[in-house]
Amino acid sequence: MKKLSRRLTLTLALGGALAASAAAFAVAADKDLIVFDWSGYEDPSFHPKYVEKNGDSPTFAFFGDEDEAFEKVRSGFKADLGHPCSQSVTKWREAGLLQPLDTSKITGWKDLNPGIMAMKNLATTDDGKAWFMPWDWGNTQLTYNSSKIDAKDVQSLKAFADPKFKGRVSIGDNVDDAYALAALAIGMKDWTTMTDDQFKQASDFLRQVHKNVRSYWTDTTDIVQLLSGGEVDLAWAWNDATVQSVKAGVPIKSVKDTNEGISTWVCGYVLFKDAPGNIDKAYDYLNAVNDPETAKVLVKDWGYGQANAKGMAGVDQAILKEKGYDDVQKFVDKTLFQSPLPSDLKLKMIAEFEKIKAGY
């Protein structure tokens, strides 16, 4: 999940000076609230009611991926809210980085999608405590240039490893999306049960894909440029890569009904344990992004869904159909949900993916 990245991605340096110099690496606005987020989510169209109530947007600091964000917070970086995705929430919580949410202060908590809320150890734990407010969700899916590739040649995810696409492929520099692709390709829908043998099969598949990769993309801006510039024709990418490419006039299509399926991720907001800012403004922000009206921006402009079911119900049906959300059930059965991974398996994936990218 996921970088919208219409703006420059800012890199925060690790080290003792990190917390003291945070302002230098942030989009500064309301100093009473710091949101640690993916680049692009600072867009005021996502939180107009926060600005209306408080006079300005929060201060935003940015991370490139969730493992990077985890290390920065663990090393002393201070923020109030963070924006991890489903596969990382357990890791952040178990590391003691989070404090529970007071759901009585979150308007529309009961409107959150029941299917998402039912994911084990995601929004809530068995003791009833809430730790994560799901907000945006979408897919990582096969994406291709329809003027250069015939649809029949990309009906299977195994196309990513097909030698005829050598030098024409891009997948994300993102361990979660990479192993979601590999798990689907070997026939898995629940990656939390991956055995050692299945892990080897998945890793071997990624090694074959690596032979075809021209570039590992880092954010939406990156993959849209690769696709629209003709550098790559086949990608494993998020919804907004197709939306933004089409806006640029490039015939890019995405395929939700490949033989093996697609991957679905859910991202949202957490409250850091040592949040230094104004707690009331933190809940103001959560309520602003969870407002049902925000769904119209997420779906139309970015191709993502909002976890607020009431919000999705308010989106024009024609737009839902255009973005592929009119009949979600039709692809759910062939979806790998990026649910929280066992910590030891996630660490294995991280280490192995680095080897694969290095050519080993």
Domain ranges of the chain: 28-135+265-324, 137-261+337-356
> Per residue in 105-160, pLDDT tens?
999 999 999 888 988 888 999 999 999 999 999 889 999 999 999 999 999 999 99
pLDDT of residue 76: 94
Which range, of 4-13, 178-187, 203-212, averages the lowest pLDDT? Answer: 4-13
pLDDT, residue 249, reads 93
> Would the pLDDT of 214 be above 90?
yes
Question: Which is the CATH superfamily of the domain at 137-261+337-356?
Answer: Periplasmic binding protein-like II (3.40.190.10)
pLDDT score at 8: 31
Q: Is the pLDDT of residue 289 over 80?
A: yes
Confidence (pLDDT) at 193: 93
pLDDT at 301 over 50: yes
Per-residue pLDDT at 16 exceeds 50:
no
Q: Does 137-261+337-356 match 28-135+265-324 at the fold level? A: yes
Mean pLDDT of 305-332: 85
Q: Among 19-28, 120-129, 173-182, 199-208, whose mean pLDDT is lowest?
A: 19-28
Look at 14-23, 105-114, 294-303 and tell me which has the smallest mean pLDDT.
14-23
pLDDT value at residue 18: 36
Range 167-177 average pLDDT: 95
**Torsions phi, psi for 104 (to 5 deg):** -70, -15
Can you give the pLDDT at residue 23? 36
pLDDT over threshold 90, residue 65: no
* Res 20: pLDDT: 34
- Arithmetic mean of pLDDT, 199-224: 95
Fold for 28-135+265-324, please state it.
Answer: D-Maltodextrin-Binding Protein; domain 2 (3.40.190)
